[in-house]
Structure 1
Amino acid sequence: MSSAPHHLIFFCSAEAWQRYPEWAKDRRDEIIARIKSEFREPAYEYMGD
């Protein structure tokens, strides 16, 4: 059995995040934390967080 993650979730940079809708602009850390709480390692790997 491989220990490599099955999925990769990419988060854009904080600078690029500012182009997201107004409701999300200042909530990057909160949104990333919620995603990580639902899609956990080792099945998921993250880039850009």
Structure 2
Amino acid sequence: MVEHDRYPTRAAVVASVRDYIDNFYNLKRRHSRPAYMSPIDFELKTYVTALAA
């Protein structure tokens, strides 16, 4: 995504990436790799597992 654009500042890059994550990337979509869990569910499971250890 950021390869094709020139950004005047680092803040502009951060804003662009945040916009992509917030508006384009679907956090609820299931992925086959992590046992058909959504990315947010996978991260929460990993976090809870790490806390329990």
Tell me the TM-score normalised to structure 1 length: 0.32
**Richer in strand (by share):** 1
**Richer in helix (by share):** 2
User: Which has the larger Rg?
Assistant: 2
**Higher RCO structure (Cα 8 Å, ≥6 apart):** 1
Tell me the TM-score normalised to structure 2 length: 0.30
